[in-house]
Amino acid sequence: MSYQVLARKWRPRKFAELVGQEHVVRALTNALETGRMHHAYLFTGTRGVGKTTIARIFAKSLNCERGQSADPCGECSVCTSVDEGRFVDLLEIDAASNTGVDDVREVIENAQYAPSRGRFKVYLVDEVHMLSKNAFNALLKTLEEPPPHVKFLLATTDPQKLPVTVLSRCLKFNLKRLLPEQISGQMRHILGAENIAYEDSAIGELARAADGSLRDGLSLLDQAIAYGGGALHADDVRTMLGSVARGQVLGVIDALAAGDGERLLTECTQIASYSPDFGGVLDDLASVLHRLQLIQLIPGYQPEEGSDDDGALVALAERMTPEDVQLYYQIATSGRRDLVLAPDARTGFEMALLRMLAFRPGDGAPAARTEKPVAASNAVPSASSPRSSAVAPARPAAVAERQQDSPPRPRVDPVARPEPTVTAVTAPVARDANGLPNWEALIEQAGLRGPFGLLAQNAVLRERDGQTLVLALQPAHMNLAVEPMVSQMEERIGQVLGERIRLRFVSNSREAGAQTPAARAAQARDTAQTAAEQAIEGDPLVQSLKREFGARVVPQSVKPLDS
């Protein structure tokens, strides 16, 4: 006898054998037991979650020779015929292949005739959304008022494409994506019945790769058994899927938590040696970060039962701040999306990890120096340098206000931390008559570059309120004043001023107009550009070329000399 794939061999033949979808099974069971059945049912959901399987079981329940019930016998000629796909009164129509109105017209004409063997003639239309508009119109009348011996069972993965006139004539059941635990449980049951040796971690890898589809999961299981020569080993499964071990993902996070760039690159090289799907590795990284955040912020949360990395997760959660985990998660998900824009997948993967290292909160400002004062830079610190708790001030949440006079919102810190002493590390900043520091000098000495510089250059220091510097910002730039950027600016500026300060941004288009450093720099560039163009036009050689050869100065080709 030829081999039968697991997805077909273990296809449920009774409602009790279904994995998940209890809400659908309960509704259909009650309808069958009470006789209160609708004439048209619509089953929606992603691939491989049981839409057509449920429809076939329902057809057996309607026509079983031992009586209509939610528990068909599975032994009579009707049940066996349905299981083998040869029951004459169950007409399965693939709407993807039979989209035209002529195909539907044939269904309508045949629906008038009584069933040949069963009590009901059941029409199972798969991927019904593929029918043409004319086909839907032809079906509507029969779908609303079919003969009493006809039941319509419609299945689709894309219900949004169905006309509302069809939706209104059906009872709709939305089948859920299966959880990895449900898929792995069914896999263990099947492997036990098939007497196939397996490793639990291999089952977990396959269940996650199934992405909510049991059929996809069983297809992967078939492939993994063949790849492993009749057994299921975690290393074989990871090689087949192009995934990496959870311990390697934890190694990446551990290197990030330590700020160890050299070890981070080593972990990347080891991962790359498996030729993995780098997008899948970033997904795994985001998944672990999600679990870390749950451990940190949800009291009493316990990691997954039976997971080998429980202790490592708890240890990492204690070493990392919730802000770090949020930042790394955001970079992992955005890096996953941007992989297609990278020169190659490995480069995109490594840049995502290096971005996490570069933007580690608290690492942007250097420690106290003993040499002559130098303006702080925005360069990424040495990967092996630990965080300096002696100079890093606590990071209060900045408030970016939309209204000029609105009071600041209360700050909420998930974890209380002691406030370290702040030590000035640069020369004193020039101040005006009101004691306000020179904002442009402060930007330079604090080394605010990149995103920090963009925010600072478009702001105007308006006043000081205690330990708070109030900055006016144009409404178009208010979206820049977000965490963790503002907290890091507070740290850097606090280093320069030698005290713990807060920044409060208020929206004010008039005050933050031409007075910002960015506006003044733009005005200086315009002035220099105008002077350069006038100098070229007045140059004797240029005038001679124009006169003798009809030359002209190409617009925008003149640039001022760098100072």
| Peptide linkage before 484 cis (omega within 30 of 0) | yes
CATH of 180-241, one of 3.40.50.11540, 1.10.8.60, 1.10.3720.10, 3.40.50.2000: 1.10.8.60
Cα distances (Å, whole numbers) of residue 127 to 95, 159, 189, 216, 365:
6, 9, 30, 18, 58
Residue 384 and residue 376: Cα distance in Å, rounded? 19
CA 406 – CA 320 distance, rounded (Å) = 34
**Which tokens go with 509?**
């288009």
Q: Structure pTM?
A: 0.55
- Domain ranges for the chain, please list them: 6-174, 180-241, 246-358, 366-404+420-515
Cα 442 to Cα 560: distance, rounded to the nearest angstrom: 27
Return the axis-axis angle of helices 246-258 and 345-358, rounded to nearest 10°: 40
CA nearest neighbour of 174 among 21, 306, 281, 311: 21
Helices 22-34 and 51-63: crossing angle in degrees, nearest 10, is: 20
Residue with tokens 């009584």: 114
**CATH code given to domain 6-174:** 3.40.50.300
Q: Which CATH architecture has domain 366-404+420-515?
A: 2-Layer Sandwich (3.30)
Q: CA-CA distances (angstroms) from residue 442 to 41, 369, 433, 457, 496?
A: 69, 18, 16, 11, 7
134: Cβ contacts below 8 Å, ≥ 6 apart: 100, 101
Tens of each residue's pLDDT in the chain, 563 residues: 577 889 888 999 999 889 888 999 999 999 998 888 899 999 999 888 989 899 899 999 999 988 888 889 888 999 999 988 889 989 888 887 776 777 788 888 888 888 888 899 999 998 899 888 888 888 888 888 888 899 999 999 989 889 898 898 899 999 999 998 999 999 999 999 999 999 888 898 899 888 889 999 999 999 999 988 888 888 888 888 877 777 788 899 999 999 999 999 999 998 888 888 899 899 989 999 999 999 988 888 876 554 556 778 888 888 899 989 999 999 999 999 999 899 999 999 999 999 999 987 654 443 333 333 333 334 334 333 444 333 333 343 333 443 344 444 444 344 443 444 444 445 667 777 677 888 888 888 888 877 777 888 888 888 888 888 888 887 777 777 887 778 888 888 888 888 888 888 888 766 656 678 878 888 888 888 888 888 888 888 888 888 888 888 886 788 887 64
Fold of 246-358: Zinc Finger, Delta Prime; domain 3 (1.20.272)
Question: In this structure, are residues 199 and 232 in contact, taking their beta carbons and an 8 Å threshold?
Answer: yes
Under 8 Å between Cβ of 155 and 125: yes
